[in-house]
Amino acid sequence: MSNFENAGARMPTSAPPPRTWDFWETALVTLIAYGVYTLASGLALTQILALQDGVAKMPPAQLRDFAAQGRWSGAALIIASPCTIAVLWIAIRAAGRGFSEYLALNWPSATETAIGFGVFAGLLVLESIISWYIGADYAPMNGFLIVRSSGGLLILLIAGCVAGPIMEEFIIRGFLFRGWSQSFPGPIGAIILTSIAWAMTHVQFDFSGKFLIFGMGLALGYSRWRSNSTWLTVMVHSTFNMFLLFTTGPYV
């Protein structure tokens, strides 16, 4: 065997190149992530409710209303969020990519932050006018806003303004946008499709409510594309939820 052949035989095998999950793979991982969230939050909520006095004697309708209260469903969301994000981490590491890099967890510039909040604020004003005109009903949130105590209010705020926005933005504008924008839909198609997917996850709202959420998704998707920062969409999403919660009330 020649020296050249010996050198070739000793040449180390290179690691597989990093990849981006394609359209259908991205959709599958996203479905798994939401499935894990549904399972983890359901189990957490079941265990939390089992510790409460009088729950076993409640009729089904009362139990559903009780379980929907922000102090309980919010706690379940907080518990389930890390499990959901773990699914993304496993998929991203399996692709040979860094978690922060794949999800575009980059800190936005001051200019991009101002533009992101400005676009969203303008859209919020427009959607408020549309919502008033079509009579969009956000009544499904009423049960979620019942917290009974300051501790319950804190749980609601952490769930609605921290855990929820981080989890949703990591999935929708982070993982889903990454895979779909680098697949056949391209960035524009990904903005539209992720907005539709995000609206469909809000099953508690009617069509008009989903339409308004779709519009918000377009603004968030545009900000994600323009700034290459999912942290920016997390901040905007969190700020909007905080505004919504503090202007809806009462809670206690």
| 213-231 pLDDT, tens digit each | 898 999 999 999 999 999 9
Helix 23-50 to helix 70-94 angle (10° resolution) is: 150
pLDDT at position 113: 94
Q: Determine the Cα–Cα distance for residues 233 and 238; give it in Å rounded to an integer.
A: 8
Categorize the per-residue pLDDT at 161 as very low, low, confident or very high, splitting at 50, 70 and 90: very high
Tokens, residue 150: 């300051």
| 103-118 pLDDT, tens digit each | 999 999 999 999 999 9
Residue-by-residue DSSP string for 135-195: T---GGGTGGG---SHHHHHHHHHIIIIIHHHHHHIIIIIIIHHHHHTSTTHHHHHHHHHH
Q: Determine the Cα–Cα distance for residues 129 and 135; give it in Å rounded to an integer.
A: 10
| 22-36 pLDDT, tens digit each | 999 999 999 999 999
pTM: 0.87
